[in-house]
Amino acid sequence: TSPDKVDHRCIIFVRHGESTWNETFNKGDRSRLSFAVFFIPNLIYALLVEFYLFVAGHSEESWFFDSPLSAKGVRQATDLRRFLAKAEHTTAAENDIIDLMTGKTKATGTDNDGSKASPAAQLCSSNLRRAISTVAIGFQDRMDKQMDQDPILILPCLQEISRNPDALSITPPRGAVVPSWTDKAISGFDYRRIFNQQVDTKLHNGNKPVSSNGLK
């Protein structure tokens, strides 16, 4: 549908799962005592993983730079997938939103009976791996249908602005998204097909400047 024919737009935000950076440096839902007691051991573990990735020649991997989903983050993204797959939700309005998110609602002018017809809603993600993985895992059932014109669109304007290294995208401009070791460890997750064939990076022109307001 062309933009000048759209009466209104509904934007649905999905928070990415916990990242390895969050696991190391953020308290999250842990008690303050637990976080304080285990902070140094967890930091040492993270540094050892980073050292291993470096000496093993995995230049595309990092615990700290463009930090991927942690094990907890993977569980959160998987929980999103389960939530979206529920047969019925609370209200009719909620069901309508879920149908948009899962691709059941088709775009105007397409065959609504065709299982591969273009969905009415576009999946978007920032250029950070934790966000891309959250969309790919959480919406895997939609991705598995391989519908027409239904990629995950990477938009650098959505990139988190921070001076921390976890907010620096390591995906090359307009290049392929490299799966992390946490992506590869997920049973039944076809990361190769999704990242190679169903992620559109044509608008990914690199990291957003720290001074940006998101519009430049």
Lowest mean pLDDT: which of 24-33, 67-76, 90-99, 147-156?
90-99
- Six-digit token string for 46: 């993270």
Contacting residues for 186 by C-beta, under 8 A, at least 6 apart: 74, 78, 137
pLDDT computed for residue 120 by the predictor: 85
Mean pLDDT of the chain: 89
Please give the C-alpha separations between residue 164 and each of 18, 53, 67, 78, 109, in angstroms, as whole numbers.
16, 19, 10, 27, 45
Is the pLDDT at 216 greater than 70? The verdict is no
pLDDT grade, residue 20 (50/70/90)? very high
pLDDT grade, residue 96 (50/70/90)? confident
Q: Of the candidates 121, 94, 123, 95, which has an alpha carbon nearest to the alpha carbon of residue 107? A: 121
CB-hemisphere CA count at 13 Å for 67? 26
pLDDT in tens, 26-41: 999 999 999 999 999 9
Distance CA 55, CA 197 (A): 30
pLDDT computed for residue 153 by the predictor: 97
pTM for this one? 0.89
How much of the chain exceeds pLDDT 70, in percent?
A: 90
Tell me the average pLDDT across 3-17. 81
Whether the Cβ atoms of residue 169 and residue 159 lie closer than 8 Å to each other: yes
pLDDT in tens, 46-67: 999 999 999 999 988 999 999 9
* Bridging pattern class, strands 199-200 and 123-125: unpaired
pLDDT in tens, 134-161: 999 999 999 999 888 899 999 999 999 8
Distance CA 101, CA 119 (A): 9
Is the pLDDT at 214 greater than 60? The verdict is no
Q: Of the candidates 134, 136, 188, which has an alpha carbon nearest to the alpha carbon of residue 18? A: 134
Instruction: Please give the residue that has the higher pLDDT: either 107 or 130.
Output: 130
Instruction: Please give the residue that has the higher pLDDT: either 2 or 86.
Output: 86
Query: Is 150 strand, coil or helix?
Result: coil
pLDDT grade, residue 104 (50/70/90)? confident
Backbone angles phi, psi at 149, to 5 degrees: 50, 50
Based on C-alpha coordinates, what's the Rg of the chain?
Answer: 19
Contacting residues for 206 by C-beta, under 8 A, at least 6 apart: 156, 169, 173
Is the pLDDT at 1 greater than 50? The verdict is no
Contacting residues for 110 by C-beta, under 8 A, at least 6 apart: 117, 118, 148
